[in-house]
Amino acid sequence: MITQEYRTNRARFPEEALVQYHGGWVAFCADGCRVVASGGTVKQVEEQLAAAGEDPQRIVLEWVAGAEDDSPSH
> Domain ranges in the chain?
4-65
pLDDT of residue 67: 73
**What is the block-wise mean pLDDT of the chain (74 residues), using blocks of 10 residues?**
91 95 97 96 96 93 83 43
pLDDT of residue 66: 84
Separation between Cα atoms, residue 58 and residue 70, nearest integer Å: 29
Single-letter amino acid code for the residue at 7: R
pLDDT of residue 68: 73
Q: Are 49 and 59 in contact (CB under 8 A)?
A: yes
